Structure 1
Amino acid sequence: MYNKNINEFQGQIKTALKEALPTLDLTCNRLFQRLRLKSHLTGAGIRKCEGYAAVHLVFVMFISVFLNLPGLCGPAHLNLTALTAAGKDAFYRLKHRDLSWRSFLWRFLGFVAQQLGWSQQAPTEAYVVLDTTVLPKRGEKIEEVSFVYDHSRGRSVLGYELLTLLMVNSQGYYPLDFEYHFSNKKGHAYQAATVSRRRSSLDRRRLLAQQNKFDVSLQMVQRALAKGAKALYVLVDRWFAAPNFFLNLRWLGVHGIGRLKAGKSRYLYQGREYTMEELYRLVKPNLSRCRALGYDLARVEVTCANGLPGMIVFSRGYREPQVNLPAGAKLPPQPKWAAFFTTDVSLAAAEVVKKYLCRWSIEVFFKEAKTLLGLGKDQGRSFAAQVCATTLTFLRFHVLAFVKAQGDAAKTIGGLFREMAEEIGLIQFQDKIIAYFRQFLTATLKRLKRSLPISASFGAVVDTIDIVINELDLCQGCET
């Protein structure tokens, strides 16, 4: 009894996209059908909300970013009847429901991996990248929001810390999984998320967000490997690069590569223990120029304090790319040398640095996801709404990456976003004009049939048309 017909909406979008996107070959609606979004949602238990199919609501929220609509419920707030007839309650209830978004995302990723042939790629040329980013929030009444340290700003901000797992292969980079992290420093109006009696997927996310990030990261890597992600190396930055973390990665059957801090940790080399700076002074005369990278490199095989064998590659001249630096900000000072650690001692020094440079794909992903795809922009107060919004951001990125992999390899995600946003914006305007005339003609004919006799004068017909125009929702506040 809650079924509502949405075939007209799907047909309008499909027809308009088919005519307006001849260069992209794949339209949004055709992509949803080709990637079997409805099957993945149903398999994850995400079906209906307020009488509307979940795939319909997800479709509208998916394209809302390309239409520059405010928030996930922009279509309902702006009353775009040409886009959807669903009210804002349908979107709100879908966002706030405790749904298995992780299951949906993994089902979708499994299908995309099958379509793109990830299983045929060599594991040595595929990498898993771990990193965190901060999602600032303004309201202290948002569930589980806390003060987290933002490295780009150099201070703590109110929001969430998002731990993300990214896959990098020959076809591009794809976000696989995410977890939130809460700090112990809460705001004055802190709101804890509601815990259900039966342990749900949202409750499990909430509990993981309170655990140590090292443990959660290892669980994410283990889950990705169990789901079929074929990667031999895990790339991390200086925060994760610790001997115990690398030791746990070896237990999982993968190698770790990360940049080391110049701290007080000691490494065993040729029967003696050295700090990082002492090791650099020792191997500094052995630095040799790598023309391909433009750095001076040297490698030493060491043993960590926990007994883990590995290799340290020293680099002179290495510079960190500045991806997320705010406009006008002062560039941070660059050290004279850098050290990289790996548990794969068979690699050459240049190979270690080349593989580590792939880690910057996740920084580019964070930038694109925040500026183009709405990451962290959801205004909902519930923690469930935040999880839903992040999943939709990952979905948008995957669809664009899929289009990129199927088409021109020279195109970037940002270029595809602007191309699709421009075309869909034109479609939105066309659909609004068509909807206006459809409503205008329908309402006019009904009013003429109901209130005027066949022999009515032309002036009476014009007056009736004028009344109908003034009563239409699309014409409210319009002087033309």
Structure 2
Amino acid sequence: MVTDFHSNDDILSTSFGSFAKKFNVFSILAKCGAKKLRGVSVSVVFAYLFSIAFKHTTVNRDQKGRKNPQAVGKDCVHRFLQSPKIDWNRFTALLAAAVIRLEFEPLYGKSSEKVADRRCLVIDDSSFKRSRSKKVELLATCFDHAHHVFYRGFRMLTLGYTDGQSFLPVAQCAMSTENEKMRINDASEVEQGTPGHTRRQMAQKKATESMLDLIDCAKDAGLEASYVLFDSWFSAPAQVTAILEKGYDVVCMVKKGNTKYACADGLKRDVSQIFRSSKKRRGLSKYLLSQVVSIMDGQGREREVKLVFVRSRSNRKDFLVLLSTDIALDEQEIVALYGNRWSIEVFFKNCKSQLRLEKGNQSLNYDEISAHIALVFTQYMMLSYLRRLNTDERSIGELFLAMVEEMKDTAFDNAMELILYLFIDKVAQAEPQLQQRLYELADLFISTLPDLMRDQLRRAS
């Protein structure tokens, strides 16, 4: 399934063609500042860049092997990616909101209210390594908490959306650091008030502050959710109350630190003290203990939260603590909601291993790095949409490989169309009275096929 996109070389899957048309991808791009006065249009440049990941190559390698000198050129590509006037976070947030509104929400209407209430925003960060780089803008020395080592690059702070079935990336920030001693290179001078200037400012904030900016971005795009999920790195009471003030409830994991919670008896205890002083549930219960406590917001007001203690899978003598600001939720629902946070870990894995998140672009320019990440987000959105559309049990990785095969077989559509027309012509010449019956039988056969195959054959016929 392939569509010729203005050039025989710049071929894009028909899956992206239908995706772009249904969700007005190019109109959203224009709203976010992606405009050109002359030369190759924005839609052609974006479609070309979108197809690169499915060709197992990079822009530079593809440019060197181009047979058509009139195709999208290298300078055109880099000018587009390095534009400080394109708001990539707004683009991905608006696109995610469109996918949710047009594709996911109609499904919620057919489901129970409980399914609709599981709409969540998920926040997490992952390493974005540029280990061999020296001159990348805003390059920093970061610490990998998973492997306990330092590396050169960025922390890719990401906000996503999940309903328990699908995951969509919404916004991101390639975090440098506010610590000048750990920042290897400073930011380039960019016109104030442009999205490029805003990106650079956000990258030099604390992650806890940038996290709130990403939530604002999702809210401005009209993306509706009931909960925000994150792990223990962002679970300080100040962060929890800041998100509450934005209109979202929080479900997160809590550190076993010195943070004190006001208990029902008036005493303040940390989670370890609460666990030791409370009676635990016996047997094979999914949780050990549940208790409603209070935290203080920035104005000194108390907010009730529910702490749920669950047994650690890796060490049955240890425990983990989940926090929910919605105390009406039962304990099992809190555990199930927090389990949806794992979808962002799967997203990071697929983007790095399949969509070449880290290795697909080696630019020194911060705007181009942000644009590359936004392109990868768009590619993942399309794969997630296709999986949801066809209720496909395959993984995102398998869908990616299917798209790669689709890009390889660029002549399949033309061959299918030619065979079908030749067959109908030959039958019509020999038996003219059978022509109408043949079309009826073909339509009956095609209607029983899966959606993608059915649309493909109907397009060819």
Fold shared per TM-score above 0.5: yes
Match among 323, 328, 331 for residue 341 of structure 1 = 323
Q: Distance in 1 between matches of 2:10 and 2:262?
A: 68
Amino acid at match of 1:374: R
Which residue is equivalent to 1:142?
136
Partner of 2:395: 412
- Whether 2:105 is the aligned partner of 1:105: answer no
- Greater C-alpha radius of gyration: 1
Distance in 2 separating the partners of 1:231 and 1:108: 16
* 3-state SS of paired residue (1:191): coil
Which consecutive unaligned segments of at least 5 residues does structure 1 have? 1-5, 18-25, 320-332, 432-480
Is this contact kept in 2: 1:140–1:188, CA < 8 A? no
Of 113, 120, 138, 1:127 maps to 120
Retained in 2: the 8 A contact 1:148–1:159?
Answer: yes
Shift in Å at residue 389 of structure 1? Answer: 0.2
Tell me the TM-score normalized by structure 1: 0.76
- Decide whether aligned partners of structure 1 residues 252 and 62 sit closer, same or farther in structure 2, where only a CA change above 3 A counts: same
8 Å Cα contact 2:53/2:355 also seen in 1: yes
SS at structure 2 position matched to 1:341: strand
Which whole-Å CA distance do the structure 2 matches of 1:224 and 1:85 have between them? 35
Alpha-carbon displacement from aligned partner over 1:379-408 (angstroms, at most 9, x marks no partner): 001001101100100010111111112113
Query: Which of 407, 412, 425 is the equivalent residue of 1:424?
Result: 407
Contact 2:6 2:44 in 1 (8 A): no
What is the CA–CA distance in structure 1 between the aligned matches of 2:266 and 2:23, rounded to whole Å?
57
| 1:42 CA displacement | 2.3
In structure 1, C-alpha distance between the alignment counterparts of 2:44 and 2:340, rounded to whole Å: 36
SS in structure 1 of the partner of residue 394 of structure 2: coil
1:78 Cα deviation after fit: 2.1
1:43 to partner: Cα distance: 2.6
Whole-Å separation in 2 of the counterparts to 1:129 and 1:271:
33
Does structure 1 retain, via aligned residues, the 8 Å contact 2:178–2:206?
no
Partner of 1:211: 205
| Partner Cα distance (2:338, 2:97) in 1 | 26
2:234 alignment partner, SS class: coil
Change (3 A) 1:184 1:47: closer
Paired residue type of 1:104: F
**Alignment match of 2:176 (pick from 182, 206, 220):** 182
8 Å CA contact 2:155, 2:175 repeated in 1: yes
Map 1:44-443 onto structure 2 (within 5 A): 44-48=32-36, 51-70=39-58, 72-81=59-68, 85-98=71-84, 99-118=86-105, 121=108, 123-137=116-130, 138-184=132-178, 190-269=184-263, 270-287=265-282, 289-290=284-285, 295-306=286-297, 307-319=302-314, 336-377=318-359, 378-427=361-410
Instruction: Measure how far apart 1:429 and its partner are.
Output: 11
Identity, % of aligned pairs? 22
Aligned-pair distance for 1:130? 0.6
How many Å separate the matches in 2 of 1:418 and 1:178?
A: 25
Partner of 1:23: none
| Contact 1:60 1:75 (8 Å CA) reproduced | no
Distance 2:175 2:5 in 1: 41
State the 1:287 CA deviation. 4.5
Relative to structure 1, is the Cα distance of residues 161 and 428 closer, same or farther in structure 2, using a 3 angstrom cutoff? farther
Aligned match of 1:29 = 17
Q: Secondary structure at the match of 2:233?
A: coil
SS in 1 for 2:409: helix
> Is contact 1:256-1:342 (8 Å) kept?
yes
User: Contact (CA 8 Å) 1:297, 1:349: kept in 2 or not?
Assistant: no
Q: Is the 8 A contact 1:180 1:209 kept in 2?
A: yes
> d(CA) in 1 for partners of 2:311 and 2:67?
57
SS at match of 2:167: strand
Q: Which residue of 1 aligns with 2:451?
A: none
Query: Alpha-carbon deviation of 1:79?
Result: 1.8
Cα distance in 2 for partners of 1:207, 1:313 equals 37
CA contact (8 A) 1:73 1:91 kept: no
2:387–2:396 Cα contact (<8 Å) kept: yes
- Residue 308 of structure 2 aligns with an amino acid whose one-letter code is V
CA displacement at 1:8 relative to structure 2: 4.4
Residue by residue over 1:313-333, the C-alpha shift from the partner in whole angstroms, topping out at 9 and shown as x without a partner, is 1111445xxxxxxxxxxxxx7
Output the CA distance in 2 between the equivalents of 1:313 and 1:368: 31
Provide the alpha-carbon RMSD of the alignment.
2.8
- Supply the AA of the counterpart residue of 1:282: S
- Name the structure 1 match of 2:422: none
Structure 2 CA distance for aligned equivalents of residues 265 and 173 of structure 1: 32
Structure 2 distance, partners of 1:234, 1:168, is 10
**Structure 1 residue aligned with 2:7, among 6, 9, 18?**
9
- How big is each residue's C-alpha offset from its partner over 1:279-315, in whole Å with a ceiling of 9 and x where there is no partner? 111235335533xxxx343201111255221111111
Q: CA deviation at 1:235?
A: 0.6
Cα separation, 2, equivalents of 1:313 and 1:142: 44
Runs of 4+ aligned structure 1 residues displaced above 4 Å come to 184-189, 428-431
Q: How does 1:469-480 map to 2 (within 5 A)?
A: none
Tell me how far 1:44 sits from its aligned partner: 2.4
Q: Distance in 2 between matches of 1:364 and 1:40?
A: 27
**Deviations 1:176-224, CA, capped at 9 Å, x for gaps:** 1112221256689943232234421010111111122222212222332
Contact 2:171–2:217 (8 Å) recurs in 1: no
Return the alpha-carbon distance in structure 2 between the equivalents of residues 298 and 211 of structure 1: 37
